Structure 1
Amino acid sequence: MFTTLLVIASIYTAVTFLAGAIIGSALASLGAWRIVGRMRAELADAAWQLAHDPLTGLYNRNGLRTAHAAFAAAHPGQPVVAVLIDLDRFKEINDDHGHSTGDEVLIEVADRLTPIAAFYGGDIARHAGDEYAALFPVRQHGISQLADDLLSAIAAPIEVQADTGPVVVALTASIGIAVVDSTDPFEEVALHRADTAMYHAKRGGRNQHVLYTPGMTMPPSEARRGLRLRDLHQQRGVTA
């Protein structure tokens, strides 16, 4: 997909060059210029869709991978902070209030994380479902301060509209953090280590961050205790 983004960027550059040639030509027609303008707009839109999550407007995995590649090219050998954020018990929001309410929560969380990413000079993405991933350069701000800012932004109550009316949702998050070399593979090293640390945060009680340390491995799987919340609701509906 990163290759696809490069192809689109190359085509966009070629179209832009063609547009300049057309403008500079005395024989250029208004119709030709309109065609070139439409092509530029369509290519720009295609590139945006390939790199962004349609719900939140954040980068998607491909967009964050591209941002990582750009940082590695500009700053080879420099450390980078990889962050993986998983919303705790987000499934219960969907079960209790519906997926449209869940989508509102995801959008609000994205809106809260965006200025934090900008403040720390990083990039953030909706990684998958209720997971967000981010990359930050190592600066004077400590990792603990960054993690605390992320946790505080998510924990502030969120008022959303459910089918039954307005509801206030309280969330926490489990955050995994890994400091890696900018040239380390993005998926296999940076995100993998952040993911491992995130699971330790979740197994350790949630609503916290854990920093990856050398030799850290995935914690043992947590066995499900009792019925899922959705199953309990269905049981109550049958017995009511």
Structure 2
Amino acid sequence: MRQLQPRRGSTPRNSAATPRGQLNSAAQYHVGNGGAPMKQDMYQFTTNALRGAGLMTPLRIVIGLVCISMTPVVLTMQFNPLGPHELIPRVIQLIFGTLPTAVGLLWIFGSWPTFRQSLLFVLWADVSMVIGTSMNTATVSRLDGIYHMGLIGIYIAFILGPAVLAAHCTFVLVAMIVLSAYSVVVDHAGWGDLYVFLAPAISSLILLPILIQALIEGARRTAWATVQQVNIDPLTGLRNRRGMYARADELMQSDSTVTLVAAIIDLDRFKELNDEYGHDRGDLALKAVAGVLAGCIRDGDIAARLGGDEFGVLVTVNSSTDATAFVDRLRTGLQEISDTVTASVGIVCGSLPLDGADDVDSVLRHADRAMYEAKRQGGNRFVEFDPWGAPDGAPAAADRHVAPLIRHQKREHDHA
């Protein structure tokens, strides 16, 4: 056990003007997840649903095959009278027509893309299709090529959501207008003649994806709300224990080598706070702690109310500096709530991916053990537990998979 003492001898910011028993106003807010979910959250929710249903691999293969199927179409247009005639348009169309095969192979043999990678895929597909089809010489072949963009719209409707679909549909509409105007000016086509292409194109490429999106989004948001009710603590807006484990399983399976910092926070003498000031004040204290935890973490990290007055945090860091900064943010935030609200905090660090039998349960159990040691020492302190350290106070081996980060930060002695 390594004790990280609370800082003494200095007044935390904003605490001097906080009367005993009153919470700092800056900490009195609800960390709710109500309202519309972030696009990345909805993307993660959708991909998790696909993974859970066993549909992710089949869908990757289908998308990959659709991408590869674009190459034969382009190769055919190279020898079609309606295709490009000059050398440069031929080369440009050939380049943009062969790239889908490489992208399709990435879909089939690679991993499922991140939200950002999916956006880049859509951007590449939209731009490639417009450039490739604009190389054709005939009006009919230029406008017919646009129809393939409907496949992108369906992908967006199912996976990426309405905001991305709106941008895609706007791009499609602008592309149709530009290609049509070019046909009118250069090929002397009439707008009436183009209507037979534009009307069904608008229906298929814009209206149909929007209709599909509306149906999917309604069902998806209903499912999202149900999941939120199951995984979110209604008082604090943080994840509950179930929600923490659901997200932690993904975090612990990270392929990247980063360090996991786990913290268990338990409020000191919380029952006495409830008895002396009432349950409303106790609820405010829980919300204030939730606000501190939410302010200490980044996107992808986890903060949860595990039950009663106990909270858990799982964050990933890349260096000892990041780990120390997280602990300092957590300590400072808890100190600023109120002089009547203190906490015992247990800390444990481990490198991801974890080895052997180490999992969410074992990491949190080690942090919980450190928290109880902080309680045993009187509370209002941080204690780090290194379960993989060498016995009898000997230095830990350099090749241990648990990074001893927090122990390197400056210690301060308890003068109480």
Q: What TM bracket, shorter-length normalisation? A: 0.5 to 0.7
Shift of 1:140: 4.0
After superposition, the Cα gap between the structure-2 partners of 1:59 and 1:215, relative to the gap in structure 1 and judged at 3 Å, is same
**In the alignment, which of 168, 190, 200 is matched to residue 373 of structure 2?**
200
Separation in 2, partners of 1:152, 1:44: 34
Separation in 2, partners of 1:34, 1:194: 45
Residue aligning to 1:170: 340
- Cα deviations across residues 8-57 of structure 1 (Å, max 9, x unaligned)? 8348x99x63999xx959997x9998665432221110122222211111
Shift of 1:74: 2.8
SS at match of 2:263: strand
Shift of 1:86: 0.7
After superposition, the Cα gap between the structure-2 partners of 1:75 and 1:8, relative to the gap in structure 1 and judged at 3 Å, is closer
Separation in 2, partners of 1:34, 1:145: 44
Separation in 2, partners of 1:213, 1:95: 36
Whether contact under 8 Å (1:155, 1:170) holds in the other structure is no
Separation in 2, partners of 1:128, 1:65: 13
Whether contact under 8 Å (2:262, 2:347) holds in the other structure is yes
Separation in 2, partners of 1:146, 1:103: 25
Matches within 5 A, 1:83-232: 83-118=263-298, 122-138=301-317, 139-141=319-321, 143-158=323-338, 170-182=340-352, 183=354, 184-187=358-361, 189-214=362-387
Matches within 5 A, 1:46-65: 46-65=226-245
After superposition, the Cα gap between the structure-2 partners of 1:205 and 1:6, relative to the gap in structure 1 and judged at 3 Å, is farther
Whether contact under 8 Å (2:289, 2:337) holds in the other structure is no
RMSD: 3.6
Shift of 1:70: 1.9
Whether contact under 8 Å (1:124, 1:135) holds in the other structure is yes
Q: Is the aligned partner of 1:17 residue 2:158?
A: yes
Q: Percent identity?
A: 32
Partner AA of 1:17 in structure 2:
F
Residue aligning to 1:236: none
- Cα deviations across residues 160-188 of structure 1 (Å, max 9, x unaligned)? xxxxxxxxx6211111011124332101x
Partner AA of 2:360 in structure 1:
F
After superposition, the Cα gap between the structure-2 partners of 1:149 and 1:104, relative to the gap in structure 1 and judged at 3 Å, is same
SS at match of 2:221: helix
Residue aligning to 2:42: none
SS at match of 1:210: strand
After superposition, the Cα gap between the structure-2 partners of 1:8 and 1:47, relative to the gap in structure 1 and judged at 3 Å, is farther
Matches within 5 A, 1:20-35: none
TM-score (norm 2): 0.41
Going by fraction, where is strand more abundant, 1 or 2?
1
RCO higher in 1 or 2 (8 Å CA, sep ≥ 6)? 2
